[in-house]
Amino acid sequence: MNATTEKILDMAIEIQQIPAPTFHEQERAAFVRELFLVEGDLTVEMDQAGNVLACRKGSGEKPPIVVCAHLDTVFPHDTNLKFSRTKDRIYGAGIGDNSAGVAGLFGLLWLLKERGVQLPGDLWLAANVGEEGLGNLKGIQAIVERFGRQPRAYIILEGMALGHIYNRALGVRRFEISISTNGGHSWSDFGQPSAIHELTNLAATITKIAVPRKPRTTINIGKIAGGTSVNTIAADASMAVDIRSEKIDALESVVQELETLTAAAQKKGVRVEIIQIGTRPAGEISEDHPLVVLAQDCIRELGLKPTLNIGSTDANLPLSLGLPAITIGLTNGNGAHTKKEHIYTEPLQKGLEQLYQLVTRVGKTNI
């Protein structure tokens, strides 16, 4: 493993140690901003969304390239961020998703400097907010609104999934369903409707919605809350529902069935409300698009097998607008979104080389 890779791993750990739940990325953003400023030859700024952006000037007036990595994690602020390192792995909540990705921005920058490469157009490096959970892609939306169709490519970095190229964006809709009743005492008011009973009945019905295998479509109840005490008839309860599909028509069909079931749960003494709390647009670029072809070539030349994939990442936003965008991984790992999350250290060197080769080749290509 070379010195640059070791530096990136050390930086990834430093980033991982700073809590950054969605909507609370400020401390991590400030840290990354200072790291960019230390480089000395970048124009560094923070936008109104909270994204940190750094520009490395190009040698000419060619279109820019935008490389992004999200700052936020799924973990609450009080999560134990203790890390450990073995011979071939680093363990820690958020180390792969997406501390390694953010550190990869600097890996790209350092490789360009070490090899004396100046791109023909500006290179924008962005550490963005709002990718996870209910962030609803707030950060990348601000970036795309700013740059629009100017860039040759939007390249999104994730710490894990080396060899995967996400050229298709998974459509996502998220809802909160709330039920309220008058509640009461579990003994003296027995027989009155309970918000929890009604909610769990509805939840059981929702899980029976027949979702298609092709296009692959999923529905998940990820969170349930409500009630006052064990001996109280619950006056309120709620659940969060996540629906995903490879095709927007299938997604909308399941959403419509969810809304129908929710409406049917309304009855005397039981008030039901459904609100949309999240959305991620679908989109794609073809597998023979020059950006996708270049990304595959860069992976093959490292002795790895490229895999085209679909996922829900920051690339959803530009892909939904027909812009050239892909998401790539920098190393391999497991346990994403769990406290057992870990990355393998050795593959990162290839992941950084992949990124360097892709960016320099995109800079020379008319995409």
Give the C-alpha separation, 47 to 57, whole Å: 19
Which residues of the chain fall short of a pLDDT of 50?
none
Q: What was the pLDDT predicted at 1?
A: 82
pLDDT value of position 60: 85
Q: Could you report the per-residue pLDDT of 184-218, keeping only the tens digit for each?
A: 999 999 999 999 999 999 999 999 999 999 999 99
Q: What is the pLDDT of residues 230-245, one digit of tens each?
A: 999 999 999 999 999 9
CA distance 195 to 193: 7
Across 142-281, the runs of DSSP E, i.e. the strands, are 153-158, 164-169, 171-180, 184-185, 217-226, 232-233, 236-245, 271-280
Q: Which two tokens mark 348?
A: 């990162």
Q: How far apart are CA 348 and CA 158, in angstroms?
A: 12
Predicted local confidence at residue 162, as pLDDT: 98
Structural domains of the chain, ranges and CATH numbers in brackets: 3-169+282-363 (3.40.630.10), 171-280 (3.30.70.360)
pLDDT of residue 143: 98
